Amino acid sequence: MKLSDSRDIAAAPEMVWAAILDPEVLHQCIPGCQSMTGSVAEGFEAVVKQKVGPVSATFTGHVSFSDVVEGRSLTITGEGKGGVAGFAKGGAAVTLEPILEGTRLTYDVDASVGGKIAQLGSRIVDSFAKKMADEFFARFQDAVEPPTEEELAAAAEVEAAAAEAAEEAEATGDGADHKKGWFRRMIGV
Amino acid sequence: MPKDGGIGASVKRREDVRFLTGKGRYTDDINIRGQLYAFFLRSDVAHGRLKSVDTAAASDMPGVVRIFTAADFAGVGGIPCGWQVTDRFGKVMQEPKHPVLADGKVRHVGDPIAMVVAETLDQARDAAEAIRVEIEELPPVLNMKDALKPDAPKVHDELTSNLCYDWGFVEENREAVAKAFEGAAHHITLDLVNNRLVANPMEPRVAVGDYEDHSGMHTLYTTSQNPHVIRLLMGAFVLGIPESKLRVVAPDVGGGFGSKIYHYAEEAAVTFAAKQVKRPVKWTASRSEAFISDAQGRDHLTRIELALDKDHNFLALRTETHANMGAYLSTFAPSIPTWLHGTLMAGNYKTPLVYVNVKAVFTNTVPVDAYRGAGRPEATYQLERIIDKAARELGVDPVELRRKNFIQPDQFPYQTPVAVVYDTGNYQATMDKLLELSDHAGFAARAEESKKRGRLRGFGIAHYIEACGIAPSNLVGQLGARAGLYESATVRVNATGSITIFTGSHSHGQGHETTFAQVVAEMIGIDASQVEIVHGDTSNSPMGMGTYGSRSLAVGGSAMVKATNKIINKAKKIASHLLEASEQDIEFKDGKFTVAGTDRSKTWVDITLAAYVPHNYPLESLEPGLEETAFYDPSNFTYPAGAYGCELEIDPDTGKVTILAFTAADDFGNVVNPMIVEGQVHGGLAQGIGQAMLENCVFDENGQLLSGSFMDYAMPRADDLPFFKVDHSCITPCTHNPLGVKGCGEAGAIGSPPAVVNAVIDALQRGGYSHIDHIDMPVSPARVWAAMHQR
């Protein structure tokens, strides 16, 4: 299965680069990701829970990085095993290019699946992969792009409400604030 | 006037009452107290080295009773192959090991690695998730021609190559055939693919193993076409259980089409496990599992060549086929592309010289074995396609070219150049019948009418012959079969005259319970409701070889007739005693024993009662009771034949093919139940048209089966098929079995694929696409459209 596309992201290439290599960003952006740990040098260990057509599975896998050209391009390779559901593996060549609006991210994915998920046929698997990619980038752009004026105003209202609620019961979340632009704020932009 | 009972009557199928009201008792309906559930963890890669299988964590999961891996089966045999083919150099085929569970390597997607036995199926499945399997992936061998290259990865490390055998038939004719081609006026060549199919019976495979500790008795309930064969193979070759301690039951079975002939690993695994855990163990295949674990069908790559003289007489035929065996040798796999294929290459024609070369190849795919027709559809397809191609290249009528080269009605018995002797046949008659029923004469006008509507109309003809009633044991023994192919029957007459028949045949949709009863009812002269057919249980029926190769009536029916004749002979002796007449003077008709020329008679029930209440009985010369067993071993195959015609239209804008009419004129010899025969032909046609138009196995470059569900594997549906015109009034009875029957189960699937493809080519060429002389099956809209636009 091959999947190629490009996305224009309203953030500087340096920020996009840092985000791609941040396990927490990937954790938040990969749909169904339950954990993502590790480092760029050692690779990441990931657990992703997903439903492909009628098959639900928890994929555990390893992601590694190669051909790294700092700030410009890299190759991501990974393999996930989903038990009796089968496996998915593949690679993505990712290139970043500065453009007026920020960064153009281009990716070429070459992936293959095996076992039960392959048996379901390419119609399900291909559209599933496309959906996963769309969802990933929607979340990724959310993380790295600055919020618009309207979004800021809306967020302020929500925050005010949340502050009230927090007085009554202390927040028990994982501590991360995942509203739009959270990665920007986290790294202090 | 049509009969309403007995031989020749369209009696309604008595078994349908239970099948159509949900009362059938299938293997999955069998649940034994204390039963556990098995789940097989299967390989999700096509080829790899099995580095480790760690079941530690999985074993602690809730409900898990035991997890079996290859190591547990170290003390038992592998899954045996039932046929050894000798190659053209006199060497026996390469026969790889076939472990019950993958040992050392995995060789196809679906290869079982471990079996989890747990209290519930969900628990077994959950535990399978927790098994840690480490596989070092190896490049898969998928393409048959690549598989034979010297540097190809090997499916089986212990073999010298991926070549199972290189078979030549008749090897002595090789040179003569080559010579005939050199001098021939015309030389026609065609390359084609016989597409791989999944059998897809309605009921997936199921196996329940049971073990009785105190007696050491094993019972296997399984979805099989031949329970005795499974008992022999599994008992003797895999688990080492004597037949007396092993009962195999195949209850109602929801279709087989060949895929339930074979002994499968799951059967051995649950039987073995039941003894180990001392509880019954059940396995039921999911549909997804069936796609990657049931033996598949066909999968041949063929080049066929036909030499003709200037008058268009066939001089010689030569074929070279690569036949896919898949990853292991399934029970009868080696015999399909050889003895069930090469021996039919003469077809209905008097071609004097035939040479068939078959290279059987191992690949990292699901094993391939017999599927409805088994070898004969592959032979018929290539032969009938090249004859059509020859007719087109030579500019002659495909019907006339066939007629000219047919074995003529007065030439029977006919010795073909490929070993077999056809006993009877009349191919001109079936061709006449086809042309009449299909209104062949009116085709031109219909084609013209289609043209006005912008459609391309075509008519395709195929004539087939098959070898059924499999088979003479001494002959198949010489050809490498490791089993006999007789059939058996016990006819038990009960005290008050009713009859219970135990047959070694097995019915999984064929209607034996109805037709077998019709035959015996007519022979005895009682109502068929008094005759009960019992099959499928090794504990009550004599050793039989089961049902496949359209053999049940021709071989199993003959055994039953033989046993019934023994009954009649004994009954006459009893009657002669009761009537105080000489045995020679006793006439038996319509259930009545009469002293010839008198009105003194005894009824059937008088005799059966006397046999079991022998107060007035010749005890000094005759045993009491009335029960006889017979084994029948045929002296030849039977040779059903027929002419098939397909009329269709192609939409040139989309390439979509619509079959408008399909006509089958068959010679099945004598017919016991015309309605059931018609149903068998309908089913066969649906499967043959399915192969020609829709069905196909597609593997990706990694050996993953992409058409692995009904979403992508297109099964024929009612609206893909026309109303069939089916005729079996052309009858040349078989000369060597007592009923004169030939068998009808596979014909439809054999004759229809070439008729469809011939019709597609006819439509395209008539429509001006003269560059198209072949399209491989399935003739999907995409393939037809692509051919039309490729110049």
**Whole-angstrom Cα distance, residue B90 to residue B618?**
59
Residues B686 and B784 in one domain: yes
Could you tell me which residue, A189 or B719, shows the higher pLDDT? B719
Question: What confidence score (pLDDT) does residue A166 get?
Answer: 65
Distances in Å between the alpha carbon of B757 and those of B394, B487, B760? Answer: 19, 37, 5
Q: What is the model's pLDDT at position B471?
A: 86
Q: Which of A84, A87, A119 sits opposite B705 (nearest CB)?
A: A119
Distance CA B507, CA B482 (A): 23
Indicate whether B4 belongs to any domain: no
> What CATH number is given to the structural domain containing B93?
3.90.1170.50
Those of residues 97-136 in A touching chain B at CB distance below 8 A are 112-116, 118-124
Q: What is the pLDDT of residue B1?
A: 53
pLDDT at residue A189, rounded to an integer = 65
The span from the CA of B694 to the CA of B658, in Å, is 12
**Contacts of residue A25, Cβ cutoff 8 Å, sequence gap at least 6:** A19, A140, A143, A144, A183
B648 Cβ partners below 8 Å, 6+ apart? B457, B458, B460, B657, B658, B659, B660, B756, B759, B760, B763
Three-state SS for B20? helix
Q: In this structure, are B314 and B355 located in the same domain?
A: yes
* Chain A contact set for B106 (CB, 8 A): none
Shortest distance, CA B312 to any CA of chain A (angstroms):
48
Q: Do residues B737 and B636 make contact, with C-beta atoms less than 8 angstroms apart? A: no
Closest CB to A121: pick one of B41, B45, B708: B708
pLDDT-wise least confident of A142-151, B344-353, B701-710: A142-151
pLDDT value for A171: 45
Pairwise CB contact (< 8 Å): A114 & B291:
no
Report ipTM (2 d.p.): 0.77
Residue B327 CA to residue B330 CA, distance in Å, equals 9
Asked whether the predicted pLDDT for residue B80 surpasses 50, the reply is yes
| Residue B297, beta-bridge partner list | B197
C-alpha span between B161 and B208 (Å, rounded): 37
E strands in B23-63: 36-42, 48-54
pLDDT attached to residue B536: 97
Measuring CA to CA, which residue among B438, B348, B346 is closest to residue B667?
B348
What is the CA angle B256-B325-B85, rounded to 5? 100
CA distances from A2 to A8, A66, A73, B214, B608 (A): 20, 19, 19, 60, 76
Q: What is the pLDDT of residues B481-505, one digit of tens each?
A: 999 999 999 999 999 999 999 999 9
B706 in contact with A, Cβ within 8 Å:
yes
Contact B277, B356 (CB under 8 A): no
A87 and chain B in contact, CB less than 8 A: yes
Q: How far is B548 from chain A (nearest CA, A)?
A: 29
- B590 phi and psi angles, rounded to 5 deg: 50, 40
Instruction: State the pLDDT confidence band at B791, using cuts at 50, 70 and 90.
Output: low
Closest A-chain CA to B58: A83
Cβ–Cβ of B44/A114 closer than 8 Å? yes
Bond into B360 cis (ω within 30): no
The three-state secondary structure class of B227 is: helix
CB contact A90 to B (< 8 Å)? no
Give the mean model confidence (pLDDT) for residues B656-665.
98
Q: Check whether B645 has a pLDDT greater than 80.
A: yes
Spell out which residues of chain A touch residue B288, defining contact as CB-CB under 8 Å: 116, 119
User: Rounded to whole angstroms, how far apart are CA atoms B2 and A169?
Assistant: 89
Let me know the angle formed at the C-alpha of B107 by B105 and B110, rounded to the nearest 5 degrees.
115
In angstroms, the CA B457 to CA B446 distance is 8
How many angstroms away from the CA of A37 is the closest CA of chain B? Answer: 21
Asked whether the predicted pLDDT for residue B772 surpasses 90, the reply is: yes
Domain boundaries defined on chain A: 2-186
**Do residue B417 and residue B533 come from a single domain?**
no
Contact B702 A116 (CB under 8 A): no
Q: Flag the least confident range among A179-188, B86-95, B338-347, B354-363.
A: A179-188
- Is A83 in Cβ contact with B704 (below 8 Å)? no
Both tokens of B732, joined, read 């040349």
DSSP secondary structure of B279-295: S-EEEE--HHHHHHHS-
B291 contacts on A by Cβ (under 8 Å): 119
Q: Which of B572, B599, B632 is the last residue of a domain?
A: B632
Question: In this predicted model, what pLDDT tens digit does every residue of A166-186 receive, in sequence order?
Answer: 666 554 444 445 678 888 887
Q: Which uninterrupted H or E stretch holds A17?
A: helix A13-20
Q: Does B708 touch chain A (CB under 8 A)?
A: yes
| Residue of chain B whose Cα is closest to the Cα of A111 | B702
Task: Quote the minimal CA–CA distance from B704 to chain A in Å.
Answer: 6
Q: B35 touching A, CB under 8 A?
A: no
Which chain A positions have a beta carbon within 8 Å of B711's beta carbon? 120-121, 123-124
Are B387 and B415 in the same domain? yes
Looking at the structure of chain B, the number of domains it has is 3
Nearest residue on chain A to B131, alpha-carbon basis: A83
Q: Which one of A86, A114, A123 has the shortest CB-CB distance to B711?
A: A123
Is residue B621 predicted with pLDDT exceeding 90? Answer: yes
CB contact under 8 A, A119 and B700: no
Chain position carrying tokens 């018609």: B678
In this complex, do A112 and B291 lie within 8 Å of one another by their Cβ atoms? no
Looking at the fold, whether B569 and B697 belong to one and the same domain comes out as no
Q: Whose CA is closest to B463, among B323, B663, B299, B317? A: B663
pLDDT at res. A167: 64
CATH code of the domain occupying A2-186: 3.30.530.20
**What are the tens digits of pLDDT across the range A89-134?**
888 999 999 999 999 999 998 888 898 888 887 777 888 888 888 8
- How many CB atoms lie under 10 A from the CB of residue A174? 9
User: pLDDT value at position A116?
Assistant: 87
Task: Tell me if chain A has a CB within 8 Å of the CB of B704.
Answer: yes
Residue B5 lies in a domain: no
> For residue range B27-74, what is the model confidence (pLDDT) as tens digits?
999 999 999 999 999 999 999 999 999 999 999 999 999 999 999 999
Clarify whether residues B718 and B622 are in a common domain: no
Tokens standing for residue B761: 């080519």
Question: In this predicted structure, what is the pLDDT of residue B41?
Answer: 97
Tokens of A130: 């496309």
Beta bridge partners of B52: B134
B246 lies in some domain: yes
Cα angle, residue B40 at apex, residues B36 and B42 outer, rounded to 5°: 175
Q: Indicate if B670 and B755 belong to the same structural domain.
A: yes
Element (H, E) at A93: strand A87-99
Q: Provide the CATH number for the domain around residue B776.
A: 3.30.365.10
Q: In chain B, what residues touch A112 (CB-CB under 8 Å)?
A: 700, 702, 704
With respect to residue B191, please indicate whether it lies within any of the assigned structural domains.
no
CA-based nearest distance B140→chain A, Å: 13
Q: Which amino acid is at B35?
A: Q
Terminal CA-to-CA distance of chain A, rounded, Å? 38
Pairing label, strands B531-535, B499-503 = parallel
Same domain, B619 and B672: no
- Token pair of A164, please? 């009230």
Closest residue in A to B42 (Cα–Cα) = A84
Q: For residue B44, give both structure tokens.
A: 């999700």
A49: Cβ–Cβ under 8 A, 6 or more apart, which residues?
A32, A34, A56, A57, A58, A59
Helix (H) / strand (E) element for B152: namely none
Taking the CA atoms of chain B, what radius of gyration do you get in angstroms? Answer: 27
Residue B445 and residue B299 in contact, taking contact as beta carbons nearer than 8 Å:
no
Q: Are residues B501 and B605 in the same domain?
A: yes
Read off the pLDDT of each residue in B331-352 and give the average, rounded to a whole number.
97
Contacts of B700 in chain A (CB under 8 A): 112, 118
Residues B628 and B640 in one domain: no
What would the two tokens of residue B570 be?
């004994």
Under 8 Å CB-to-CB from B710, ≥6 apart: which residues?
A: B287
Are the CB atoms for B336 and B323 separated by under 8 Å? yes
Does B707 reach chain A within 8 Å, measured CB to CB? yes
**Residues B49 and B129 grouped into a single domain:** yes
Residue B389 domain boundaries: 300-470+636-788
Q: Which residues of A touch B47 (CB under 8 A)?
A: none
pLDDT band at B149 (very low <50, low <70, confident <90, very high): very high
Beta-carbon contacts of residue B752 (< 8 Å; ≥ 6 apart)? B462, B644, B646, B662, B664, B684, B685, B688, B689, B692
Q: Which of B104, B111, B113, B157 is nearest to B133 (CA)?
A: B113
Statement to judge: residues B503 and B413 lie in one domain? no
Cα nearest neighbour of A55 on chain B: B288
* Test mutation, B41, B42, B43, B44, chain A, max A CBs within 10 A: B44
pLDDT for A175 equals 44
- CB contacts < 8 A, A to B, total 55
Q: What pLDDT does A117 receive?
A: 87
Question: Residue B321's Cα: distance from chain center in Å?
Answer: 20
With beta carbons under 8 A apart, name residues in chain A contacting B130.
83
